[in-house]
């Protein structure tokens, strides 16, 4: 089977961490690098978390530091969701290796340039690094196969009424990426809020009995505290994992191709992802928007991925 060469870019973050557990377990993906970005926490903290996650799951690839702040705005971290460390909850191993001496954009550009096949990018935090890559190396866009993002929401936001956190942190970066001409699949809140894992499933994962599964269950224990404080959540919405499963199991999703633009100014909704659902602009769709999913199938994929960490290495 042809494996998809990917670069994981994120702001771990509990759901970024679980997304990377999934990605690392998939035989379909060939992870070339991991890059951190300022989002849920400062770039220093998300980098440290990225190194610890890779150590825990045995993902020995270059990990590079991303941009220390959004393109124009000041950082806007989320300790109320992910804690002061950005990945509160279970104790994690200290990093088994050093961060790359290249920064994220340099490393991404090197990998893309040297690859004999196009690379897929999977940003699950603000799009700062991806936009910076486009600005510094526009010639490399033709060697990017696809971008699977977690971000945005056509019908509503979560950090502001009309803006989702990742896009609201860096709307200018998102605008650059959405206009960039590279194919995009958007795992926005319309679908990720349905991707809830239930407490009884935390326990199924916990009882799988391997260290990674135990840590994932404890990440869910912490992450669910935030969701419990909100109305309408029976479980924890593991937003970022949807971007990975959209690649490995597209069959469990309903998708709509829409023209989507990003609001970057105004008083009420900078960071809104405005989807032309009624096709009133006449503009060609630029985004495959994930609209719905088979939640039970999603949960099974996650549980099976966690179970694979207990199998004797293949
Ligand atoms: O709005 C959810 C997104 O914001 C997720 O990627 C979460 O990790 C945070 O980055
Ligand atoms: Ca994230």
Question: Could you report the per-residue pLDDT of 240-259, keeping only the tens digit for each?
Answer: 999 999 999 999 999 999 99
For the segment 97-124, the average pLDDT, to the nearest whole number, is 98
Per-residue model confidence (pLDDT) at position 47: 98
For residue 219, CA distances in Å to 8, 82, 87, 177, 229 come to 19, 9, 8, 30, 17
Q: Given the CA of residue 16, which atom of ligand 1 is nearest to it?
A: 8
Nearest 10 degrees: Cα torsion 287, 288, 289, 291: 160
Return the best residue to mutate from 9, 11, 149 for the ligand 1 pocket (most ligand atoms within 8 A of CB). 11
* 40 within ligand 1 shell (Cβ under 6 A): yes
| Distance of CA 166 from the midpoint of ligand 1 (Å) | 6
Tell me, what DSSP letter sits at residue 109? H
| Distance of CA 83 from the midpoint of ligand 2 (Å) | 13
Q: Given the CA of residue 12, which atom of ligand 1 is nearest to it?
A: 8
In contact, 278 and 169? CB cutoff 8 Å: no
Q: Is pLDDT above 60 for 314?
A: no
Ligand nearest to the CA of 226: 1
Q: Give the rounded percent of residues in the chain with a pLDDT score beyond 70.
A: 99
Hey, whose CA ends up nearest to atom 1 of ligand 1?
165
Residue-wise pLDDT for 178-207, tens only, equals 999 999 999 999 999 999 999 999 999 999
Per-residue model confidence (pLDDT) at position 67: 96
Ligand nearest to the CA of 14: 1
How far apart, in whole angstroms, are the C-alpha atoms of residue 271 and residue 151?
10
How far apart, in whole angstroms, are the C-alpha atoms of residue 45 and residue 239?
20
In contact, 23 and 48? CB cutoff 8 Å: no
Comparing 29-38, 142-151, 225-234, 239-248, the range with the smallest average pLDDT is 225-234
* 165 within ligand 1 shell (Cβ under 6 A): yes
| Distance of CA 44 from the midpoint of ligand 2 (Å) | 15
Return the best residue to mutate from 9, 40, 87 for the ligand 1 pocket (most ligand atoms within 8 A of CB). 40
Per-residue model confidence (pLDDT) at position 165: 98
* 158 within ligand 1 shell (Cβ under 6 A): yes
What is the three-class DSSP state of 160? strand
| Distance of CA 27 from the midpoint of ligand 1 (Å) | 25
For the segment 255-284, the average pLDDT, to the nearest whole number, is 96
Residue-wise pLDDT for 51-95, tens only, equals 999 999 999 999 999 999 999 999 999 999 999 999 999 999 999
Its pTM surpasses 0.85? yes
Choose, from 14, 82, 146, 239, the residue flagged as catalytic: 239
Q: Which residues pair with 165 in a beta bridge?
A: none
* 124 within ligand 1 shell (Cβ under 6 A): yes
Per-residue model confidence (pLDDT) at position 313: 59
Return mean pLDDT, the chain: 97
Residues 6+ apart with CB under 8 A from 48: 95
Note if 239 is an active site residue: yes
| Distance of CA 212 from the midpoint of ligand 1 (Å) | 21
Q: Given the CA of residue 240, which atom of ligand 1 is nearest to it?
A: 6
């Amino acid at each position: 089977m042809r494996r998809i060469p990917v670069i994981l870019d994120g702001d771990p973050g509990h759901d970024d961490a679980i997304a990377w557990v999934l990605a690392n377990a998939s035989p379909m993906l060939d992870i070339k690098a991991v890059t951190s970005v300022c989002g849920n926490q400062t770039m220093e903290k998300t980098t440290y978390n990225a190194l610890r996650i890779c150590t825990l799951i045995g993902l020995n690839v270059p990990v590079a530091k991303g941009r220390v702040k959004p393109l124009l705005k000041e950082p806007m971290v989320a300790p109320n969701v992910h804690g002061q460390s950005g990945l509160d909850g279970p104790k994690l191993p200290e990093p088994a290796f050093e961060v790359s001496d290249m920064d994220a954009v340099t490393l991404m550009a090197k990998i893309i340039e040297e690859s004999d096949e196009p690379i897929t990018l999977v940003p699950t935090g603000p799009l700062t690094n991806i936009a910076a890559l486009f600005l510094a190396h526009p010639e490399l866009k033709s060697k990017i196969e696809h971008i699977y993002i977690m971000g945005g929401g056509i019908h509503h936001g979560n950090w502001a009424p009309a803006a989702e956190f990742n896009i609201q942190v860096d709307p200018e970066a998102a605008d650059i990426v959405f206009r960039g001409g590279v194919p995009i699949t958007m795992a926005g809140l319309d679908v990720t809020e349905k991707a809830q894992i239930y407490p009884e499933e935390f326990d199924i994962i916990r009882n799988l009995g391997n260290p990674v599964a135990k840590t994932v269950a404890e990440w869910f224990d912490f992450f669910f505290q935030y969701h419990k404080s909100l109305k309408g959540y029976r479980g924890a919405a593991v937003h970022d994992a949807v971007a990975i499963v959209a690649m490995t199991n597209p069959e469990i999703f309903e998708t709509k191709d829409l023209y989507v633009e990003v609001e970057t100014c105004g008083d009420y909704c900078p960071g809104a992802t405005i989807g032309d659902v009624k096709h009133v602009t006449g503009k060609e769709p630029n985004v495959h928007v994930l609209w719905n999913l088979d939640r039970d199938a999603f949960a099974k994929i996650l549980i099976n991925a966690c179970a694979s960490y207990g199998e004797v290495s293949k």
